Amino acid sequence: MKKFIHIDMDCFYAAVEMRDNPALRDIPIAIGGSSDRRGVISTCNYPARKFGVRSAMATAQAMKLCPHLTLVKGRMEQYAEDSKKIREIMLRYTDIIEPLSLDEAYLDVSDSEQFAGSATRIAEDIRQTIFNETGLTASAGVAPIKFVAKIASDENKPDGICVITPEQLDSFVAALPLKKIPGVGKVTAEKLAELGLHTCSDVRAFPQDKFLKRFGKYGSVLWNRCHAIDERGLSVSRERKSVGIETTLAQDIHSFEEVWAVIEKLIPKLQDRLKKASPELAIHNQGIKLKFSDFQQTTMEQRMQYLNPTMFKTLLPKILERQQGRGIRLVGLHVAMPTKADSQQMAFSFGDLESSL
Ligand code: TTP
Ligand code: MG
């Protein structure tokens, strides 16, 4: 059995706004264009949801439901930046990740070794780490098949987790309302209801040939879902799994010696993180990140098979060439792990070597 985690951020855009402006925390807010410009709500926080405000609703309608709703203009760049941070956190656990949107992704942790392979504990750790490092809450679903993991992440929102074990899978799916299955929209749900079909167990009791005839191509997918069959794996992005550690300095520093002193302190922490993320310690590259006093940041990497602390000393003068008189406000170190493709390529080149000997 596979182990999938689905992570979905809670009222994502609204949560970012509440984090960055605490005055918005306890009042109903929505992200969206104003009603006089025929705006639409992107999302809203939970206090606003109590009034019935929803994503994709016309702002005018939302203002009717909740007259003291505070409208906030969206900041896509900030949401994208938080999304990137969240993605980087996920990559510490597995590189088999399928992002669905800025705030949502599937992870396949079937072969992850952290927490003795417990997908539940991995999911809890991801949620905790996301909160520690971004101040945002995420909800998680854990299940042996993809679509159930997605449904599960919605069960205990916000800031919740729902685990469906292989033993619970069949009965969980049986009781599932059909409209919760991804792909079953309003129209399909109505067609199903006309046949008296409301839950997956209703479909199970329905004649298969009749069902397939009525619902065409999507019918067989839906039939399978109702029987807890979902053989899809993840469409994996090619991002490299990496770990890093960084520190923002109390005061800007300038010289090679000062930066090196910071790096020497970071190295053992980086080694710790690497050990946790990749017990065999193999890496693909190691690098340094600097953020200058004007907030411009830069990274430089060196290909390496194993972490070599003195390599940072070789890299440092090269990256400092980009300093151009500016102070340095942040120093970071990172290593990227080899992907499966890298290790296959390595085996291949060793093979070549052998055959040419
Ligand atoms: P969702 O995950 O659907 O919603 P959410 O994160 O705001 O709330 P929940 O706690 O229920 O998960 O969407 C993620 C973000 O995508 C959301 O914050 C804003 C954006 N979005 C839109 O811009 N328009 C839409 O119609 C929807 C559904 C989302
Ligand atoms: Mg969300």
> For residue 310, how far is its CA from the centre of ligand 1 (angstroms)?
46
Pick the CATH number of 13-75 from 3.40.1550.10, 1.10.287.110, 3.40.50.300, 3.40.1170.60: 3.40.1170.60
What pLDDT, on the 0 to 100 scale, is given for residue 342? 59
What pLDDT, on the 0 to 100 scale, is given for residue 85? 95
What band does 348 get if pLDDT is binned at 50, 70 and 90? Answer: very low
**How would CATH label the architecture of 182-226?**
Orthogonal Bundle (1.10)
Q: Which ligand is nearest to the CA of 80?
A: 1
pLDDT of 272 above 70: yes
Query: Which neighbouring-strand residues pair with 29?
Result: 70
What residue's CA is closest to ligand 1, atom 22?
42
Pocket of ligand 1 from Cβ distances under 6 Å: 8-13, 42-43, 55-56, 101, 103-104, 157-158
Kind plus residue range of the DSSP H or E element containing 53: none
Sign of CA dihedral 317, 320, 321, 327: negative
Global pTM exceeds 0.75: no
Cα 218 from Cα 191, distance rounded (Å): 13
What is the position in ligand 1's atom list of the atom closest to the CA of 31?
19
**Burial call 12-36: b when 16+ CB within 10 Å, e when fewer:** bbbbbbbbeeeebeeebbbbbbebe
Q: What percent of the chain has pLDDT over 70?
A: 94
In three-state secondary structure terms, 245 is strand
Give the single-character DSSP code of 325. T
What pLDDT, on the 0 to 100 scale, is given for residue 95? 87
Cα 100 from Cα 98, distance rounded (Å): 6
The CATH number of the domain covering residues in 4-12+77-168: 3.30.70.270
Cα 75 from Cα 206, distance rounded (Å): 48
What's the first-to-final CA gap in the chain, in angstroms?
Answer: 42
Kind plus residue range of the DSSP H or E element containing 101: strand 97-101
> For residue 54, how far is its CA from the centre of ligand 1 (angstroms)?
9
pLDDT of 313 above 60: yes
pLDDT of 350 above 60: no
What residue's CA is closest to ligand 1, atom 20?
42
What band does 34 get if pLDDT is binned at 50, 70 and 90? Answer: confident
Cα 275 from Cα 243, distance rounded (Å): 10
What pLDDT, on the 0 to 100 scale, is given for residue 235? 83
Q: What is the pLDDT of residues 54-109, one digit of tens each?
A: 999 999 999 999 999 999 999 999 999 999 999 999 999 998 999 999 999 999 99
Question: Is the domain covering 242-343 a CATH 3.40.50.300 domain?
Answer: no
Please report, for the chain, the start and end positions of each structural domain, with discontinuous segments joined by +: 4-12+77-168, 13-75, 182-226, 242-343
Q: Which residues are catalytic, by number?
A: 104
Q: What is the pLDDT of residues 4-23, one digit of tens each?
A: 999 999 999 999 999 999 99
Cα 328 from Cα 326, distance rounded (Å): 7
pLDDT, greater one: 36 or 256: 256
> For residue 141, how far is its CA from the centre of ligand 2 (angstroms)?
12
What is the position in ligand 1's atom list of the atom closest to the CA of 56?
26
Q: Which of 10, 41, 42, 50 to mutate to test the pocket of ligand 1 (most atoms within 8 A of CB)?
A: 42
> For residue 221, how far is its CA from the centre of ligand 1 (angstroms)?
26
